[in-house]
Amino acid sequence: MKDHLLIATAYNNEARIYVSYTKTLVEKARKIHKTWPTATAALGRLLTAASMMSFFNKDESSLTLRIDGDGPIGWLLAESNAQGEVRGNVDKPDVYLKYNDSNKLAVGLAIGNGHLTIIRNPHLKNAYSSTVELITSEIAEDLTYYFSSSEQVPSSVGLGVLVNEDTSIKHAGGFIIQLLPQATEETIIQIEGALQKLTSVTNFFDNNKSTNELLTLLANGTENILEKHELKYHCECTKKYFSNLLQKLDITALETIIKEDKKAEIICQYCKKVYNFTEKELTEIVTKKQP
Ligand code: ZN
């Protein structure tokens, strides 16, 4: 199954459901950032959530989800756009913690206490952000809390990353159910019933079930698919982008780099691609800055 997203209305237009499968993009994130299983699960859940949330308002250019915790992982970052492209990063990738009782990857412990911040249009002048405190630090519950408290959209969120023995990804995916203002009590009860039938998103996929089948379960068969999108891990960085960043440094800092290092090496935090700037290129940047 290729990475993709389904968007549907359900329950006679009283709910909107997003269902995604994200194994390949989470696997790519794992390889780029060399994450250990618990960090893989945390970053994978955040990327999966971001991949769905960027389709909420398509007039937005992109969306950033940021988690800052006091646990061993530190911070996590996921950015997505309405082209289905996501990228992310994690502060400390080498975290492998499990809960003793369930043997599950201990994402909540690894993140610890802290905050979840959602930034809309992060690269534009009209960027705006809102921050909530983390509730369980398992990410899905924290987003549920964010949607109800900051956006006043009652939602159910499920996110899952299943890691193989060899630490590669077996399955990854998730769903977001949004209750629309006209939702009746009866619909809410039906959704709660549907959620009880689902043990976990990754168990569902591990039983050879598809996203369409997950959607049917969540919608109790009332779904009406509106859109399908491909999802992928993609970083849009370019040398020009980093050249512009260098241009924002002050002249003294640039001149120090030229004098001491005679070159600059910049590594993109999202894809780890290395960009080299020669002495000549750096000098040109300084020249452009001079009035
Ligand atoms: Zn990049």
What is the Å distance from ligand 1's center to 275 Cα?
A: 10
In terms of phi and psi (left: phi > 0; alpha: psi -120 to 50; beta: otherwise), the region of 37 is: alpha
pTM of the model: 0.94
What is the Å distance from ligand 1's center to 6 Cα?
A: 27
Query: pLDDT tens-digit profile of 159-213?
Result: 999 999 999 999 999 999 999 999 999 999 999 999 999 999 999 999 999 999 9
Segments of the chain assigned to CATH 3.55.30.10: 4-233
Class assignment of domain 4-233?
A: alpha beta
What does residue 59 show for φ and ψ, rounded to 5 degrees?
Answer: -80, -5
At residue 149, the pLDDT reads 93
What is the Å distance from ligand 1's center to 67 Cα?
A: 20
What is the Å distance from ligand 1's center to 78 Cα?
A: 13
Q: CA-CA distance, 31 to 290, in Å (whole number)?
A: 41
What is the Å distance from ligand 1's center to 238 Cα?
A: 7
Nearest to residue 86, comparing CAs of 49, 39, 128? 49
What is the Å distance from ligand 1's center to 105 Cα?
A: 28
**50-53 long-range Cβ contacts below 8 angstroms, 24+ apart:** 50/78, 50/79, 50/80, 50/86, 50/88, 51/5, 51/20, 51/22, 51/25, 51/80, 51/84, 51/86, 51/231, 52/5, 52/18, 52/20, 52/174, 52/175, 52/176, 53/80, 53/118, 53/176
What is the Å distance from ligand 1's center to 214 Cα?
A: 33
* Count of other CB atoms within 10 angstroms of residue 258: 18
Q: In the chain, which stretches have pLDDT less than 70?
A: 291
Q: Could you say which architecture CATH assigns to the domain 239-289?
A: Alpha-Beta Complex (3.90)
At residue 122, the pLDDT reads 82
What is the Å distance from ligand 1's center to 236 Cα?
A: 6
What is the Å distance from ligand 1's center to 197 Cα?
A: 40
Segments of the chain assigned to CATH 3.90.1280.10: 239-289
Q: Which residues surround ligand 1, an ion (CB under 5 A)?
A: 235, 237, 268, 270-271, 273
What is the Å distance from ligand 1's center to 61 Cα?
A: 17
At residue 141, the pLDDT reads 97
What is the Cα 192 distance to its own chain's centre? 25
